[in-house]
Structure 1
Amino acid sequence: MSTPRSTPPRRRGRRPAGDDTRAALLDAARSVFAEHGYDRATVRAIAHRAGVDAAMVNHWFGGKQGLFAQAILHVPFDYRDLPALVTADGPDHVGENIVRTFVTLWDGAGGEVFVGLVRSVTTHEQALAVLKETLVNGIIGEVALIAAADRAELRAALCATQLVGLGMMRYVVGLEPVASAEVEQLVATIGPTLQRYLTGEPGPPG
């Protein structure tokens, strides 16, 4: 009987400077930026979590700013397709479709990019710009233009308050039962509010 070959021991210590290092840094950065925001996150902490030398941050991303741009400022889905997607069923279903799409996409992305953005908006202008351009203007603003008969800007802003608040409670604060609620439960409870904002009477003319 032949002797089975022994499994080579797993390499311990820091990762080599390859593509796996870049991926490890991005994963670690999303976690650290989500926990601490841009200002309080350090290159050393990110590199330590990734199991690499801190010099690799400069090597792959040119520093903390470049790493933040790649890990957090690149939204992990193509938001340009979303307005057409959530309005495909007609104006009577946009509220529920927005909530379903918002939660499903951010749940699938782990929520860390959203948390990193929110924790950084007060200290990092680009984080604020990305949140406004992608969520408020790029998605909700376009949906309001398609679905609403008037006051699209007001309607989009009202919807944004609901969605950012939902994201804060689910991903940043972890407030129960919102944090662990099923997607369809959130659709059923929050969708009607967004529907009213978009196609109902949002308030007196301003």
Structure 2
Amino acid sequence: MTAEPASTRPGRRPGPSVTRERILEAARNQFADKGFDHATIRSIAQEARVDAALVHHYFGTKHQLLIAAVALPLDPATVLGPLASAPLETLGAALAGTVIGVWDSAHQPAVVAAVRSALTGGREGLIRSFLLEVALRDLVPRVDSPPGTGELRIALVASQMAGLFVTRHLLGVDALRTLSTEEATRLIAPTLQRYLTGPLG
């Protein structure tokens, strides 16, 4: 592994925790501004003023770096992976149940804190990149019918889920906050299914 470039300022080098946070801050900026696809480990390393090898050392892959940057307690690939085998005609219910199940689990405080931090910190692009380019990306080809509508369908799904999350967990709207996981899933699943497979015209 290549060592971190020496600082131009006199004094001690930043410790591992400082370096790690500097990389995370650069990653948040890059992902928010450029999106997941166009941000690179090299560009993140350049902004953080470290060698690219150091980014890999602390975080592994770009995917893992994004998870750390958003500060989520779970990897979406693990959570949403089973949806790949869910029947298309019940995908809306499967997606709603999976995501709302995470929101209502012991991970809820960490998820709420991560989303609130990104939104209040002016990094809406970070959440957008995470949702559309990572979390829901693998669903696009499954619902791309007619051809060319997959990205729109997933964007509509993201809008519905994001709206529910904000009103239920950030704004605390009582009528939504008090719904059980099963009730919330049952109510939103038909809308998600229509966005995923229904007519768009």
Pairwise same-fold verdict (TM > 0.5): yes
CA contact (8 A) 2:96 2:189 kept: yes
Q: Write out per-residue CA displacement over residues 63-85 of structure 1, whole angstroms, 9 at most, x where no aligned residue.
A: 9x669889872321111234431
Number of the residue aligned with 1:135? 131
CA contact (8 A) 2:131 2:158 kept: yes
Structure of larger gyration radius: 1
**2:140 & 2:68 partners in 1: Cα distance?**
29
**1:171 & 1:181 partners in 2: Cα distance?**
11
Structure 1 residue 90 and structure 2 residue 87: aligned?
Answer: yes
Structure 1 residue 188 and structure 2 residue 186: aligned?
Answer: yes
**1:90 & 1:119 partners in 2: Cα distance?**
35
Q: Write out per-residue CA displacement over residues 10-49 of structure 1, whole angstroms, 9 at most, x where no aligned residue.
A: xxxxxxxxxxxxxxxxxxxxxxxxxxxxxxxxxxxxxxxx
Number of the residue aligned with 1:168? 166
Gaps of 5+ in 1: 1-57
Aligned length: 144
Query: What amino acid is the match of 2:129?
Result: E
Q: CA deviation at 1:122?
A: 5.5
CA contact (8 A) 1:79 1:134 kept: no
Percent identity over the alignment is 24
Number of the residue aligned with 1:106? 103
Number of the residue aligned with 2:9? none
Number of the residue aligned with 2:144? 148
Gaps of 5+ in 2: 1-13, 29-66
Number of the residue aligned with 1:197? 195
Q: CA deviation at 1:197?
A: 0.4
CA contact (8 A) 2:144 2:151 kept: no
Change beyond 3 A, Cα 1:101–1:152: same
**1:177 & 1:152 partners in 2: Cα distance?**
32
